Structure 1
Amino acid sequence: MKIRSLSIGLLLVSLMFSAFLQAAVELKENVPETYIVKKGDTLWGISGMYLSEPWLWPELWDVNPQIDNPHLIYPGDELYLVWIDGRPRLRLRRGRDVKLTPSMRVNPLDLAIPVIPLDQIGAFLLRHRILGADDLNNSAYIVAGDQGHLISAPGDLIFGRGPFPDGERTYGIYRPGETYRDPLTEELLGYQAQDIGNAKLLSSNKDDVTELEINRVTEEVRMADRLLPMEEKIIDATFHPRAPEAEIVDAYMIAVDGGVTQIGTTDIVVINKGLRDGLEAGHVLAIYQSGELVFDQVAQENVRLPDVRAGLAMVFESFEKASYALVLKSNRPLKVMDKVKNP
């Protein structure tokens, strides 16, 4: 009797575990058995072709260690669907369009398909940074312009003071923009660093007052604008859409690029959670709108309806206390202060 009970128990556990695995990766109906990757494809698009929940891509992807850079997918590659122990897995055959040899240095930004349209976020990242208060207050700044004038044209000279790191000759000119605070705790999360232009250091970085030449401007340069070393913005084309490992709580979309309040698909938003909260590039979050407050005529009281799922967003740049995310999907008009949660 005990042996029979144990066998039945093991069978039930096995069936439950199998059901869990199948539920974890749910394929759409009529998915292609094979697919040739085309130029212009995105990993998110391919994920959505196969999965009802595209952020579960890592559960579907079957890495072949015999293939060079198996996490990179290139135009011309063939994806084919197999079943292993009752679970769907997607495998890769290298195509003929891209030949990888030891002598080649393949730049994933040039060839590999991205998760999201890189041209859409590339220009944004060149113009935007989120700076902490210490980063801003301890940075170099413009103390004067040549002949005491405000500067607005490339080729003009400016003078700076403050820390100029060794080996850095090119600096971005930034102005503190919007202040980001946590909507619940009022904690200062950082400042939007507004892009004003670029300048090249002409004198020694050891001088008390340094001389720089303006290379580019987006608007008139002002005294006290900050000078920060230019960051080499390499957009990671290889991160995979996935759910955050940590539970994301009390997270909101606190700002949107352009200063508007209405948010839609492909808009870039600021989220009040960052690296310290476990958010990384590639993490997918569900967007929720607060349920309406309605009057219960039977109970004669107000009641709050449940939050309503309204879209999806993917983090593409994470800072210590805040992150940038791209809205991938919206089922209804979104707005600042809508919630974001684990999908």
Structure 2
Amino acid sequence: MKKHLCLALLFLGLTAPFAAAQEQPTIYTIVPGDTLWGLSQRFLKDPYYWPNVWANNQSVGNPHFIYPGQKVRIYSDRIEVEQAPAAPAPQAPAAQELREEPQAVTFSVNGSEGFLIENGMKPSGNVISLHQNREMAGTDDIVYTDIGRAQGANPGDRYQIFKKIGPVSHPVTNVILGQQVIPLGELQLSELEEKASKAIVTKSFQEISAGSFLLPYQERKLTIPLKSADRDLTGYIVQTQTGNQALAVNDVVFLDLGKAQGMQAGNMLYIVRDVVPDQRYANAKIEKLPVEVVGALVVVATGMNSSTAVIVKSVDTVYRGDRVEMKKSR
């Protein structure tokens, strides 16, 4: 069964009238326990398809569940979710009708995810000392940096404070991809010398010490829209935020795919594993079986050759070293 789903969804507004004329859909009513994942597997025999249903149906706010009573139109190559009927409202005096526009599917991140600082990436500066030679600093404390007028800095400039956790090696090639870092807080420069400055910590998430490095301030809380795949990509989960090997929904991971490979914030990838065929029961040698889909994740930030992602779906435990795939054709 041919599936040119991304093209069909992209031009849905143009193709729907023609499709309706050629094929009458089956109408299915959602019952408790139904999921997009399950519907895609049940009716299209394709568990990969559920993110496309989610991304292209604005009435579906939660990626994992739809609501009992909703109706879906099932075609041979796609599933369309009908808008859920609104609950009847008490009668009131006639007034001007207000319409709320449906919102696009988005993800919110708070900036605590961290990232990989890749080889060759240089920080803006470092915290070189704390006020009164303290060991740790927090909100409203004074620190000193090696950023000064020579770097073009000005009083009032803001920076984010990070700490390096350790090197990250690729689980397959063992190549060092970079250093895992976590955010510690934010500071603002107050007084400048030629090659140094005094600053005040305006916000701290963890204790700050000398040696922490600085990057220009960026808004931490972001809303990221889900983006359709525009290419095929294959990579790996190379590290986890917490260091845990076993992962589940909402856990943060790091991938070996970045801007250089065409990865974008908002892209969704599937977490897959190979299935080893049992040759004992085969009449001929089987080289390969369809992969097992164990979950899905969404990229929330990208570096040049790495990215940060959040697991949004899992049907089995996810591990560091698991393979991820993004498919344009699905």
- Tell me which interval the TM-score lies in, with the shorter structure as reference length: 0.5 to 0.7
Alignment of 1:252-271 (within 5 A): 252-271=236-255
CA RMSD in angstroms, aligned pairs only: 4.4
Q: Give me the TM-score of the superposition, normalised by structure 1.
A: 0.63
Please report how far the alpha carbon of residue 214 of structure 1 lies from its aligned counterpart in structure 2 after TM superposition. 2.2
The 5 Å alignment of 1:126-275 reads: 126=112, 128-136=114-122, 138-162=123-147, 166=153, 169-204=157-192, 207-233=194-220, 235-237=222-224, 239-242=225-228, 244-249=229-234, 251-275=235-259
Distance 1:260 1:98 in 2: 42
Q: Percent identity?
A: 15
Q: Relative to structure 1, is the Cα distance of residues 274 and 72 closer, same or farther in structure 2, using a 3 angstrom cutoff? A: farther
Displacement of 1:276 in angstroms is 1.1
Aligned-partner Cα distance in 1 for 2:106–2:220: 17
* Match of residue 56 from structure 1: 52
Instruction: Give the TM-score, by structure 2 length.
Output: 0.65
In 2 relative to 1, CA 154–328 (structure 1 residues): closer, same or farther, beyond 3 Å? closer
Q: 1:115 aligns with which of 100, 103, 106?
A: 106
Structure 1's 338 and 97: CA in aligned 2 closer, same or farther, altered over 3 A?
same
Letter of the 2:28 partner, please give it. Answer: N
1:276-315 matches, within 5 Å, as 276-291=260-275, 307-315=291-299
Report the Cα distance in structure 2 between the residues aligned to 1:88 and 1:72, rounded to whole angstroms. 13
Inter-partner Cα distance in structure 1 for 2:223 and 2:201: 30
Contact 1:196 1:219 in 2 (8 A): yes
C-alpha deviation, 1:191, in angstroms: 2.2
Q: State the alpha-carbon separation in 2 of the partners of residues 73 and 307 from structure 1.
A: 27
Does structure 1 residue 342 correspond to structure 2 residue 326?
yes
Q: Which has the higher contact order (CA 8 A, sep 6+)?
A: 2
Aligned to 2:94: none
Specify the alignment match of 1:327 in structure 2.
311
Distance 2:26 2:233 in 1: 27
User: For the residues of structure 2 that align with 1:219 and 1:262, how far apart are their CA atoms?
Assistant: 25
Counterparts of 1:216 and 1:263, CA distance in 2: 30
Give the Cα–Cα distance (whole angstroms) in 1 for the partners of residues 323 and 181 of structure 2.
24
Distance 1:153 1:20, change over 3 A: closer
Distance, in Å, in 1 between the alignment partners of 2:81 and 2:190 is 54
Pairing 1:30–2:28 present:
yes
Residue by residue over 1:229-259, the C-alpha shift from the partner in whole angstroms, topping out at 9 and shown as x without a partner, is 221235234x2352x322213x111222221
Instruction: Output the CA distance in 1 between the equivalents of 2:26 and 2:199.
Output: 58
Query: What 5-or-longer segments of structure 2 have no aligned partner?
Result: 10-24, 42-48, 62-69, 84-96
Q: CA deviation at 1:337?
A: 0.6
Secondary structure of the residue aligned to 1:189 is strand
Displacement after TM superposition at 1:283 (Å): 1.9
Distance in 1, Cα, partners of 2:126 & 2:249: 37
Deviations 1:156-192 (A, max 9, x none): 2211114655466222221112323333444443322
Q: Give the number of equivalent residue pairs.
A: 274
Matches of 1:128 and 1:246 in 2, distance apart?
Answer: 26
The 8 Å contact of residues 153 and 217 in structure 1, kept in 2 or not, is answered as yes
Amino acid at match of 1:224: G
1:290 offset after TM fit, Å? 3.9
Task: Tell whether 2:81 aligns with 1:96.
Answer: no
